[in-house]
Amino acid sequence: MLLHLEQVLSTEAVAQCRRVLEGEAWVDGRITAGAQSALAKHNLQVPQDAPAARELGELILTALGRHPQFVSAALPLKVYPPLFNRYDVGMGFGAHVDNAIRFAGAQPYRTDVSATLFLSDPDDYDGGELVVEDAYGEHAVKLPAGDMIIYPATSLHRVEAVTRGSRWAAFFWVQSMVRADAQRSLLYDLDGAIQATAAKLGQSDPAAISLTGAYNNLLRMWSEV
């Protein structure tokens, strides 16, 4: 499931991120790449243990917890501490698949869902599209600052070279309570149907109750907690 989440961060929160990041020392992005990805990766990152990265990461995690669409789609069990990257002119990231397991210190995370939260507006740069491949072809993504894209971490994806300006973003992974993307997609659709039914007929309507029961029984069957 490839899903665009709008206004994960407010305009004010994006501006705060930009102010903090402007004062940081950016380093070679290959420090967090696997052996294969390092060959294709050309960008800059804020060191993962930098105080600014931890501060802004907490801001993003708090915002995610308040975003019902993210919770419904990702069904997060654990969210990897957000990282921050930057693509200047000539920088890009060739086709790759994210590592299956990431470590934050000694804590392992299975990467079920990949996420990119845009911190630059599309007018600020040319190129820099995130291109995600799935069974239906390639999808080029370039979102307003504060918006986020999530997609299965199993997807082949790349970032096109920037030809003007600079593209800044936060990126991270989610270990979901439900490992399989097809099952998460079904639960997301069912949750949407529950909300629509409840809004039209009321929470106590038998149809809403039946759908909610089916949702919870599927989640109980498929979840790993």
Amino acid 75: pLDDT: 98
Q: Are 215 and 191 in contact (CB under 8 A)?
A: yes
- Domain range holding 186? 181-222
Q: pLDDT (tens digit, 9 = 90+) per residue, 139-152?
A: 999 999 999 999 99
Q: What is the pLDDT of residue 40?
A: 81
Q: Is residue 159 domain-shared with residue 118, that is, in the same domain?
A: yes
d(CA 56, CA 18): 10
Report how many helices (DSSP H) and strands (DSSP E) the chain contains, helices first.
6, 17
Q: Are residues 52 and 146 in the same domain?
A: yes
Q: 12-44: per-residue pLDDT in tens?
A: 999 999 999 999 999 998 877 666 666 788 999
Both structure tokens of 209? 């109750």
Q: Are residues 126 and 172 in the same domain?
A: yes
Query: pLDDT tens digits for 40-60?
Result: 889 999 999 999 999 999 999
**Domain check: are 201 and 112 in the same one?**
no
Q: Is residue 40 domain-shared with residue 93, that is, in the same domain?
A: yes
Query: Taking the alpha carbons of 87, 46, 171, 107 in that order, is the dihedral positive or negative?
Result: positive
pLDDT at residue 84, as a whole number: 97
Mean pLDDT per 10-residue interval, the chain, length 225 residues: 97 97 91 69 93 96 97 98 97 95 95 98 98 94 98 97 98 98 98 96 95 98 96
pTM of the model: 0.94
Domain count within the chain? 2
